[in-house]
Amino acid sequence: MAYDIPDSMDELVYFSRRKLYEDKGLVIAWTKKLPCPKCKKGLMAKPVDEKTGRAKVRALEYICPQCKFSEEKKAHETKLSAMIIYNCPFCDAKGECTVPFARKSWYGKKAIVFVCAKCGEKLGITKKLSTPKDFEARMSGKPATAKKGKKDEEADVPDEDDDF
């Protein structure tokens, strides 16, 4: 089943098109608005600012523009699902998947996480195009970054400035 990329942002809650790592891996992801559970006519969306005509990004509820039915943000977002078309940066496979629209921890960053159907590698779509350093190290073939702090061997070695 091939997903059709939406024509307009008016029917979407979320849309992203980005590369996962430098020249490897492309992801297109979107989440469609759900119909109102009460009137079934309008699409649930965040409230619109009367002055600017734009959606209130930090709103804590979704509202139907037809019947004014409102639903809490957390309850509404648990019903949403993200549709993803991707090229895996590890195995270069092309694929599609649908995952719940929920941000989970992926390499220490919040991301919409999905799994490559061919190689089984976990991939993530982070906010604000941030790429986790451990993921970058894995893609470039370098070992993951070391944890902060001194090793036990280094901590016990006396230096010139130590007083005894």
Report pLDDT for 107.
86
| Distance set, CA 107 to CA 19, 65, 118, 164 (Å) | 17, 38, 21, 43
Nearest CA-CA partner of 62 in 73, 51, 50: 73
Q: Within a domain: residue 109?
A: yes
**Are 29 and 108 in a shared domain?**
yes
Count the helix, strand and coil residues of the chain and give each as a percent rounded to the nearest 5.
Answer: 15, 35, 50
pLDDT at site 131: 76
Residues 39 and 119 reside in one and the same domain: no
Range ranked top by mean pLDDT from 48-57, 80-89, 135-144? 80-89
pLDDT at 161: 66
Q: Both 39 and 22 in a single domain?
A: no
Q: Do the domain assignments include residue 148?
A: no
pLDDT surpassing 80 at residue 67: yes
128: left (phi over 0), alpha (psi -120 to 50) or beta: left
Q: Are residues 61 and 115 in the same domain?
A: no
Of the pLDDT bands very low, low, confident and very high (cuts 50, 70, 90), residue 32 is very high
> What are the φ/ψ torsions at residue 120 (nearest 5 degrees)?
80, 10
Domain that holds residue 59: 35-79
What number is the average pLDDT over the span 74-87?
93
* In contact, 91 and 119? CB cutoff 8 Å: yes
pLDDT at 24 over 80: yes
Count of domains for the chain: 2
Of 10-19, 50-59, 117-126, 142-151, the poorest mean pLDDT is in 142-151
1 falls within a domain: no
The pLDDT assigned to 95 comes to: 94
